[in-house]
Amino acid sequence: MSEMKRFLKGIEMFIGLSDEQLDKVAALCSPNQFETHSTIIELNSPPDNFFLIQAGTVEILTAPEEETQKSDGVVVTLGKGQSFGEMGLVDSGKRSATVKATTPATMLSINCKEFINLCEADPYLGYQVMRNIAVDLSFKLRYRNLI
């Protein structure tokens, strides 16, 4: 099993996919490197890609950066094996957060349109991924509301 496929197998959004389906996902992955403090996603930008963190950490800022110091803007830190930007798969709305690297970070990016095309071509893959995303988003909403 390839290193990339082994990594994808550990990502929650891909739980339940077959080896063949993971190969299809792997074919869409592009490697990316980000330096500390690099902006990866900008608030209100279009949802072109989603990201899978292979190494390093990122910070999710849901308020404009200049307001996070003044308000209770939500800040979440994500690391290896986690994903972000996947809401772009659910709807085509603009980004709801800014994402910045807090350390040097290695990631895989997947183009949202290409991934949606894969989901439409393989309905079980699409169902499983969307179900996994729904479970993750539900958890995140509950966690946020408990704080």
> Which residues, including other chains, have CB under 8 Å from residue 84's CB and lie 6 or more apart?
41, 50, 51, 53, 58, 60, 78, 99
Looking at 14-78, which runs of residues are DSSP E strands? 29-34, 39-41, 49-55, 58-61, 75-78
- State which residues of the chain have pLDDT below 50: 68, 70-72, 147
Compute φ and ψ for 42, nearest 5 degrees. -105, 135
Amino acid at residue number 113: K
Distance of CA 106 to the CA centre of its chain: 13
Please give the structure tokens belonging to residue 9. Answer: 């197998």
Compute φ and ψ for 97, nearest 5 degrees. -155, 160
Q: How many CB atoms lie within 10 A of CB 31?
A: 10
End-to-end CA distance of the chain: 40
Looking at the chain, which runs of residues are DSSP E strands? 29-34, 39-41, 49-55, 58-61, 75-78, 83-84, 98-101, 105-111
Q: Which residues share a beta bridge with 108? A: 31, 52
Specify the fold of 3-146: Jelly Rolls (2.60.120)
DSSP class of 51: E
- What are 90-120's pLDDT values in tens digits? 887 888 899 999 999 999 999 999 999 999 9
Looking at residue 106, its pLDDT comes to 97
Looking at residue 75, its pLDDT comes to 78
Looking at residue 72, its pLDDT comes to 47
Spell out the domain ranges in the chain.
Answer: 3-146
